[in-house]
Amino acid sequence: MGNKSETQMNQSRRIVCYVVLVLVSIMCLFWFYLLFINATRSNSELSRGFTPFFSTHGLENWNNLVHGTLPILNGLWNSFFIAITTSVLTVYFSTMTAYAIHAYDFVGKKTIFAFILGVMMIPTQVTVLGFLQLIGKMGLDDSFIPLIIPGIAAPIVFFYMKQYMESTLSMSLIEAARIDGAGEFFIFNSIVFPLMKPAIAVQAIFSFVTSWNNYFTPSLVLHTDTKKTLPILIAQLRAADWLKFDMGQVYMMIAFSIAPVIVVYLFMSRNIVGGVSLGGVKE
C-alpha cells in the first residue's frame, strides 16, 4: 500500500513537472513565434495591433528589405564568409594544437599547456584597444582578415579537443602508422583529424555561431557599408529613426538573421546539447 501511494505521489509530481516544463518551453519559444508571425505581416497590419496568426506579406517584406537602403544581401554574404572561414581555421588549428600537446613530448610542453589554460578566460574585449591599433598599423583596418585569422588561436576549442583526444585517440594507432612509414603531417591530416569528427562537428558549429553572432569586434573593425556583417546592420537599423521604418521589414530582417542558426540547430541539436555538457566551459 505504501508503494501504491508512492507511485501516486510520483505521478502527481510528474504532472507538475510536465506543466512547468511546457510553460518554460513556451517562455523560450514565444518570442520567436511573435517574430515569425510579425515578419509575415505588413506595416499597416502591424500598426493595427497584434493578432496571433500568420499573414501573407512575408514575400513582400522580404522584397522591400532586399531592395531597401541597408545592404543586407552583402551583410548576409559577409557574415557567412567570415563565419565559415573562421570556423574552418578554428577547428583545424585547435585540433592541431591539441595534437601537439597530446602526442609529443618536448621541452616546455607543460609550460605552454599551462599558459594556454591560463589565458582561456581573458576576454577579447580587454585587448581590443591594442588590437585595433595593431591592425591599423598593419593596414588591416576595414578588412575581414583581423576577424578571421585570430580564429587559429582559440584556447577554449583547444581545451575541448584536448579532452576529447585523451578519451578517444590511442597512441598505438599512431605508432602503427609510423612503422608503415607515414609522415607526421600525413598522420595528423589523414588519421587523427578524421578520428576527431564528432568533436570537430560540434566545435565547428559553435565557432560558426559565435562568429555569426559576433557584434563587438566587427563593429569596431569594419567601416565600409558593403563590408558590414548582419549584427552591425541590425545595430544601424536600431540607431536609425525606427518609427520611419516599415516594421514588417524590421521583423523580416531579425528573422532572417537568426533563421540560419535555428535551421542548423534543428538538425544538429542532439550533438550540440551533448557537446555542451562534454566541454564544460563555454565562454
Partner 1 sequence: MGKSKNNKVVSYNKWGYIFLLPFLITYTIFQLIPLFTTIYNSFFENYRVGLMQVGPNFIGLQNYVELFSTPDIWQYLANTMIMWAMGFVPQILLSLLLGAWFTSPSLRLKGQQFFKTVIYLPNLIMASAFSMLFFTLFANEGPINSMLVGAGILSTNYNFLFHTFSARALVGFMNFLMWFGNTTILLMSGMLGIDPSIYEAAEIDGASSNQIFFRITLPLLKPILVYVMVTSLIGGLQMFDVPQILTSGTGDPSRTTMTLIMYLNKHLYSKNFGMGGALSVFLFVVTAILSVIVFKFVNSKEVK
Contacts of partner 1 in 238-257 (CB under 8 A) = 238-239, 242, 247, 250-251, 254, 257
Q: Which listed residue (127, 189, 224, 226) binds partner 1 by CB under 8 A?
A: 127
**Interacting residue with partner 1 among 59, 63, 178, 224 (CB under 8 A):** 178
C-alpha cell at 266: 534543428
> Taking contact as CB under 8 A, which single stretch among the options 59-67, 80-88, 132-140, 195-203 is the one that binds partner 1?
132-140
Set of cell numbers at residue 51 = 493578432
CA 195, distance to chain mean position in Å, is: 23
Regarding 1 and contact with partner 1 (CB under 8 A), the answer is no
- Least CB distance to partner 1 at residue 200 (A): 16
Alpha-carbon 121 to chain mean position:
18
216: its cell numbers = 563587438
Binding letters toward partner 1, positions 73-112, x by CB under 8 A: --------------------xx-xx-xxx-xxxx--x--x
Of the two residues 90 and 227, which places its CB atom closer to partner 1 in the complex?
Answer: 90
Considering only residues 189-208, where is the footprint of partner 1 by CB under 8 A?
none
- Hey, which residues between 2 and 21 contact partner 1 (CB under 8 A)? 10, 13-14, 17-18, 20-21
Closest to 71 measured CA to CA, from 218, 209, 215, 237: 237
Q: How many residues does the chain have?
A: 283
Minimum distance between the CB of residue 171 and partner 1, rounded to whole angstroms?
11
In degrees, rounded to 5, the angle at the alpha carbon of residue 69 between the alpha carbons of residues 64 and 71 is 95
Q: Residue-wise over 98-132: b if at least 16 C-beta within 10 A, else e?
A: bbbbbeeeeeeeeeebeebeeeeeeeeeeeeeebe
Per CB under 8 A, 173 contacts partner 1: no
129 makes contact with partner 1 (CB under 8 A): yes
Q: Does the protein bind partner 1 through residue 213 (CB under 8 A)? A: yes
| Distance of alpha carbon 37 from alpha carbon 30, whole angstroms | 11
In the complex with partner 1, the residue whose CB is nearer, 89 or 227, is 89
- Applying CB under 8 A, the span of 56-64, 65-73, 164-172, 233-241 interacting with partner 1 comes to 233-241
- Residues sharing a CB contact under 8 Å with residue 226, sequence separation 6 or more, in sequence order: 71, 74
Residues contacting partner 1: total by CB under 8 A: 95
Distance CA 92, CA 106 (A): 22
